[in-house]
Structure 1
């Protein structure tokens, strides 16, 4: 088949970019002809809470792509639709993870329909954003963007039942298929990184945002520490002020138990961090899925997660 993928890829960082690259690699391995249309601009810098949108890894995950799409430029939506029509794909799979991109996707798909009759499928990692600004009318605006965009596509793929249910709220009768989130197998296995007699090690991994429940993790760690000697690694860039969490760790007497790697973790550092861990802990306050779970599976590390959906 000739398939087109739309989504971020390197030099952008993060799980969605890695997913796009892994999906490309898997489809090419199966003999399909693939065009990847990527972004030349994702978020305006004012809307991005991290230090950089670009991947600083020494070993980036790169695949052939054409960076044509700009989330803020109607001209790029026209150019991208033209390139997709020229490729004549049998189907298009577009990554959906935030309604901010609804305007760009709506513009692109509307222009594409004038040139070609090709089915478009959204692969939904989220329907709503994880966190929303505290602004009047924001929920209504986001719902409008989602509903407006979802009307224009032919089907959906999702990795959890909660996402399936959310999609169907916005698109009655939609064709939705729930699929397994594949393991991120591009990371090499480096072998055990532990010495005999080391304390059990817990891992809290990923960009740190309020919904991920770091406070829950620290308070639980205090309880566990009363029963046994453990060490915890908190690895990931804070998308909020780290000060209150480090102060809480101090008040709980955890300074000798927590190792802070509070920065973006490049690809080459991911395998040893996971292979040093005995348990990955995901105490999310709410979630529809987590890419950290298949990452832990890659390294054979068990996962404890809160029962909050996904």
Structure 2
């Protein structure tokens, strides 16, 4: 089968680009002729406050990649669609409604000549704007089918389109780490990734017990000054290290090596790689019961689960961790990606 994936890949960074790349590799390994149609300019800077690209790849780049799409050139979107008429399947990696105008232009060029799928990382953003719903509705009505990463997201998609919606759990797309188990206790926790209000960093700061430190590593999409003020207000300046900015792949192992646990105090979530990321680096994960986070944690074995927006419950979970930090770490196992990818590609290709 000739398959085109439209979405970000290296030199774009982050989970979406990594997923697009790994998906291309996986489909190619199944014997399909796969190309990635990617971007030379994906978003205007004011719509993406973080750093968009990186100089070194996060994993193995996919060789059959075209980087011709440009947010400033709608004529190029239509041209891309005409080029993709010869494909048997076109997969749109949907990370944000900001992508929708370009995707609609590509669909206009395709003109119904091939099967199209919207692969929705999030059907709608966690923090929504008035135009998000109409844009996503316009896209999902024009593709042939939708792939969502959870039943909750599939139900949300079904509110926007009558087209078939399938569900496949997000498959792991992580670099192999093979972390060694350590008996050392660092009295330090890790909050990792893009910092946005729905991820609950403020809750974690309020829950941090005496004597426990915290490293916050990731790009702040606003709120850095508010976070600094909260740290000062809570008297945590000597225990909280802020490392704002994108964390390069080669620096990630060092962060996890000095953490006793990864903490994900999210207010809401869909699918996330971060539980697997923590386990791949040999550390337990404390997370809220939102989205798919709880699906990958066995409470009391390789992590701890708490209710969202429960500061006291989060504090008690951290104290429970430090009652036996080595014991909880001993239950951590790396994820086997093969079963996940087998189910994922089958759901994507199922006509």
- Normalising by structure 2, report the TM-score: 0.76
Aligned to 1:159: 149
Aligned residues: CA RMSD: 2.2
Long gaps (5+) in structure 1: 133-137
SS in 1 for 2:134: helix
Cα distance in 1 for residues equivalent to 2:282 and 2:114 = 40
Higher relative contact order (CA 8 A, sep 6+): 1
Q: How far off is 1:17 after superposition?
A: 0.8
- Paired position in structure 2 for 1:24: 24
- Aligned counterpart in structure 2 of residue 306 of structure 1, from 282, 288, 311: 288
Indicate the residue corresponding to 1:211 in structure 2. 198
Q: Is the 8 A contact 2:180 2:282 kept in 1?
A: no
| Cα separation, partners in 2 of 1:297 and 1:121, compared to 1, 3 Å | farther
Paired residue for 1:135?
Answer: none
- Quickly say closer, same or farther: Cα 1:168–1:301, change in 2 above 3 A: farther
Please give the residue correspondences for 1:43-192 in structure 2 after superposition, counting only pairs within 5 Å.
43-50=43-50, 52-57=51-56, 61-64=60-63, 65-85=65-85, 88-113=86-111, 117-132=113-128, 138-139=129-130, 141-172=131-162, 174-189=163-178, 191=180
Deviations 1:106-141 (A, max 9, x none): 111121026xx2111111111222324xxxxx52x3
C-alpha distance in 2, partners of 1:146/1:176? 14
What TM-score results when the alignment is normalised by the length of structure 1?
A: 0.85
Query: How many Å apart are 1:184 and its aligned residue?
Result: 2.4
SS in 1 for 2:106: helix
C-alpha offsets along residues 208-266 of structure 1, whole Å, 9 cap, x if unaligned?
Answer: 11121110010111xx32xxx32322110111141221232233232332222221101
Distance 1:66 1:288 in 2: 29
Displacement of 1:60 in angstroms is 6.0
Where in structure 2 are the equivalents of 1:246-257 lying within 5 Å? 246-257=228-239
Cα distance in structure 2, aligned partners of 1:154 and 1:275: 45
Deviations 1:248-296 (A, max 9, x none): 2233232332222221101111233234333221112222232323322
* 1:269-284 pair list within 5 angstroms: 269-284=251-266
In structure 2, the CA distance between the partners of 1:299 and 1:32, relative to structure 1 (3 Å rule), is farther
CA deviation after TM superposition for structure 1 residue 189, in Å: 3.4
Question: What is the count of residue pairs matched by the alignment?
Answer: 291
Task: Output one character per residue of 1:3-37: Cα deviation in whole Å (capped at 9) or x when no partner.
Answer: 11110111111211111111112222233221110
Greater shift, 260-269 or 63-72, is seen at: 63-72
